[in-house]
A = this chain, B = another copy of it.
Amino acid sequence: MPTPTSIILDWGTSSLRAMLVSDTGETLDARETASGGIQFVKDGAFEAALMSVVGDWFAAHGSLPVLATGMITSRNGWVEVAYVDTPGGVPELAAGTKKLTLTNGAGITFLPGMRNPASKPFPDVMRGEETQIVGFGLDKDRTLVLPGTHSKWARIKAGRIDGFQTYATGEVFSLLTKHSFIAKAQDPVPGAEPDWQSFDRGAEFAASNDVSANAFLSAIFSARTGILDGKLKPENILDYVSGLVIGSEFRQARAAGWFKAGDEIGIVGNNVLNSRYGRIAPLFDLTIEPAPDNAAKRGIMLIAAEAAK
């Protein structure tokens, strides 16, 4: 087995994920526990919570450096780390880290999130996605999309993250299909393939030249009128709405200036949504640059290495 050289933590509100990694970013061991989620840690006993999960890694491999991301760096976490403003790259993110020394002598580095002060009407924020962007590579000017509950569109320029914007697409999808009268979806069969025909139907409308597609609040009502008209089936409505809302995210991102037809963009992350985003990109005349594996881990290690200089 390659030599472990660091421990990476994705430490969130509801769970703690820990990875033992080599200097090339290979994951040698991994653990996940709900009991380590910061909402379950009492009286600031974060070090004890950490040791209960990875104490044996230290015992076996010595005082490895620990790199921490996630809500553990927020006001409710162990150490609050201020956002680094865009534009910013690896040096700025490294300068924004905070460090502690654990009782066993290991150093723990807390990574900052990013803030876009140019966003309207208020500065936008992200916490974690910036490591994926850094891991993707900042060498070439381009736009990246990071699918998720709160997707990010980001622009790389001159080796730095120039700006970004959040789209609450995943959350709106969930609201519509779980709580709305418009598109109350039947539960999908576990493990079933998406109904790509319904997905494409929603996406193609969002990508169409019809001015109605500019009216998102109206377009979503089509999930209901499509069933009334016999063109959509209740069992496929989830995939139709998925295509429609992700397609609308692309349409709105284009209107907001994140790309134009003919561009090449990156789609980053290991999110299961990525295949859906990749399917929609060509409808907007976009080509896709492949993302490297484990972009987040690579980004964390690059920032930590710079911080250790």
CB under 8 Å from chain B, chain A span 195-213: 201, 205, 208, 210-213
Q: Does A121 contact B (CB under 8 A)?
A: yes
List the B side residues contacting A212 at CB < 8 Å: 119-121, 165, 256
Contact string against B for A residues 113-125, beta-carbon threshold 8 Å, 1 for contact and 0 otherwise: 0000001111111
CB of A122 within 8 A of CB of B211, answer: no
Contact string against B for A residues 263-279, beta-carbon threshold 8 Å, 1 for contact and 0 otherwise: 00000000000000000
List the B side residues contacting A221 at CB < 8 Å: 124, 150, 166-168
CB under 8 Å from chain B, chain A span 169-203: 169, 171-172, 175-176, 178-182, 201
CB of A217 within 8 A of CB of B182, answer: no
List the B side residues contacting A253 at CB < 8 Å: 215
CB of B122 within 8 A of CB of A217, answer: no
Bound-state Cα–Cα, A138 to B245, Å = 36
List the B side residues contacting A231 at CB < 8 Å: 122
Query: Which segment of A37-45, A63-71, A222-230, A296-304 sits at the interface?
Result: A222-230
Number of chain copies forming the complex: 2
Contact string against B for A residues 227-247, beta-carbon threshold 8 Å, 1 for contact and 0 otherwise: 011011000000000000100
CB of A175 within 8 A of CB of B179, answer: yes
Q: Does A214 contact B (CB under 8 A)?
A: yes
Which bracket fits the contact residues of A? 35 or more
The residue that A225 contacts in the complex, of B123, B178, B181, with Cβ under 8 A, is B123
Q: Does A218 contact B (CB under 8 A)?
A: yes
CB of B171 within 8 A of CB of A215, answer: no
Bound-state Cα–Cα, A121 to B208, Å = 10
Q: Does A144 contact B (CB under 8 A)?
A: no
Bound-state Cα–Cα, A245 to B256, Å = 18
Q: How far is the CB of A309 from chain B (nearest CB, A)?
A: 31
CB of B121 within 8 A of CB of A252, answer: no
Measured CB to CB, the nearest residue on chain B to A153 is B218
**A217, A252, A253 interface centre (most CB from chain B within 10 Å):** A217
Q: Does A257 contact B (CB under 8 A)?
A: yes
Bound-state Cα–Cα, A120 to B168, Å = 24
Chain A positions within 8 Å of B, measured between CB atoms, are 119-125, 149-150, 165-169, 171-172, 175-176, 178-182, 201, 205, 208, 210-218, 220-222, 225-226, 228-229, 231-232, 245, 248-249, 252-253, 255-257
- Counting from the closest, the 9 A-B pairs by CB-CB distance are A215-B252, A214-B255, A122-B225, A175-B175, A167-B217, A215-B256, A121-B205, A166-B221, A122-B226
